[in-house]
Amino acid sequence: MNAMFRFSGLQRTLLCVLFIVFVGFSTSVIAQKKDKGKEKGKSKDREFVSADNLKQRIDHLVQAKVKEFGIPGYSLTVMYKGEKIIEKGYGFADLENKIPVTPQTVFGLASITKTFTGLALLKLVDDRKVNLNDPLSKYYEGLSPAYQKITILQLASMTAGVPAHVNEDVDWKGQIKNAQESPLESKPGTQYAYSNLSYRILGGVIEKASGQTYIEYLQKYILTPFGMTNTKPSDQAFSSPVAIPYNDNLKPLKEGLKSPSINFAAGMLASNTVDMVKYAQALVHRKLLTPQGYESLWKERPGVVNVKKDKESAWAFGWGSALVNKHLKVGMNGGLPGVASSIFIFPDDDLIIVGLSNKNGEAHEVSKLVLDEVLGRSE
C-alpha cells in the first residue's frame, strides 16, 4: 500500500472520533432544521387564528356590540380544530320575561336554509337522481316555455333569470305559478341575481326526485345523521326554548316568523348554535357528499357576472365562496324580520363561526367582527 495511506493506531483512533463527532453534529443540525420547520408550520396556524386571549377578546367585543346595536338576543359559537373557543348566549330570548339566550336557544335561520337545500340537491346528484343540466320541465308540469328550459344548475347558482321579488301573499307553489306570467328578468345563464324563488323551486325538485317531502328528505339524510335534534321548520314545536322575534323597535313580531308554506326551501328552518355547529362539523369532515359533490358545493361557480358587484359571482348551492389569505372561506347570512343568522366555515382549516339573533340587521355585523377578531385583522 502507498505510504501516504498508512496510519498509526493512534491516528486511526483519532479519525474515528472525528468521524463520529462530524456525524453527530450533522444529525443535530438536520434535527434542528426539522424542528424549526415544524415550529414554522405551527406558527402559520397561530397566525391564521389569533389565539392570544381570544375567548376574552371575543366576549368583550360581543358584549359591547350587542349593547351598542340594541340587539335583544345573540348566540355565538366559535370552534377551531374541534375545540370550542367560545359558546355563549348574550341578551334575551324574551325581553319582557327576561329569559336569557343560551346556546340551546332556537332562532330562525332564514336564508341559511338555502345551504341545506344546496346540500340535499347535491346528494341527489351524487345518487344520480338529479343531473345539474336537467331542464326544469323534468320535475314540473305545465311550465311556461321560458321556465321549461331553465336548468337545475342555473337555479342553484341563481343565474336562471327568475324574479328577485314575488308576491308572497300566496304559498310557494302559487308564487311559481304567478312568476310565469311575467318574462324572465335575464336570459338564463348570463347574470347572477339573488332570488328566493329559485330555491323554493329547487325544494320542489328535491321532492319530485326523492319521492319525499323536502323536510322528510332533510331529516333522513342530514338532520338525523348529523344529530341535529333542534332543527325544524320554524312553525313546529321545539324541545329547546325559542327566541321571540323582534322588530327594529324591539317590539315582538305579532305575526311571528315568515310561514314555511311561503318561505319553503329558501328560508323555512329554525335551529340553535349547538345544532348548527354539528352541521358545520359534518360538512368540514365531508360526511355526506362525494369529493366532487364538495367541489361543487364550495368551489365550482358559474362564472357569470353579479351585476350589483360588477364582478363574477362567487355564490352557488347556498354558499358564498372566497379566499382569505389563501384559505378557503364559505359563508352565508340569513335575514328576515326577527332573524339575523350567520355561518362562516373555513373547510380546510376546521374553523367554524355561527351567530344567531332574534332581530334582523346589526347582528350580521357582529358575526363579521367576530370573524375579524378570530383572524386577528381589522378592516
pLDDT at position 47 = 58
The 3-state DSSP composition of the chain as helix, strand, coil percent (nearest 5) reads 40, 20, 40
Q: What 3-state DSSP class applies to 331?
A: strand
253-258: Cβ within 8 A, 24+ apart: 253/337, 253/338, 256/338, 257/108, 257/336, 257/337, 257/338, 257/339, 258/168, 258/234, 258/336, 258/337
The residue type found at 166 is V
| Residue-wise DSSP of 185-236 | SS-TTSEE---HHHHHHHHHHHHHHHSS-HHHHHIIIIITTTT-TT-EETTS
Q: How many residues does the chain have?
A: 379
Residue 106, C-alpha cell as written in the block: 332556537
The residue type found at 148 is Q
pLDDT at position 2 = 43
The side-by-side arrangement of strands in the sheet containing 232-233 is 107-108, 269-271, 232-233
- Quickly name the fold that domain 52-375 has: Beta-lactamase (3.40.710)
Which residues of the chain carry a pLDDT beneath 50? 1-7, 17-18, 20-21, 23, 29-31, 33-46, 379
pLDDT at position 43 = 41
Task: Tell me the pLDDT tens digit for each residue of 230-283.
Answer: 999 999 999 999 999 999 999 999 888 999 999 999 999 999 999 999 999 999
Radius of gyration of the chain (CA): 27
Identify which of 37, 65, 61 has the alpha carbon closest to the alpha carbon of residue 50. Answer: 61
pLDDT at position 16 = 52
pLDDT at position 3 = 42
pTM value surpassing 0.85: yes
Residues 130 and 133: their CA atoms lie apart, in Å, by: 9
Sequence-distant (≥ 6) Cβ neighbours of residue 96 within 8 angstroms: 252
Cβ burial of 146 (10 Å; 0-12, 13-18, 19+) is middle
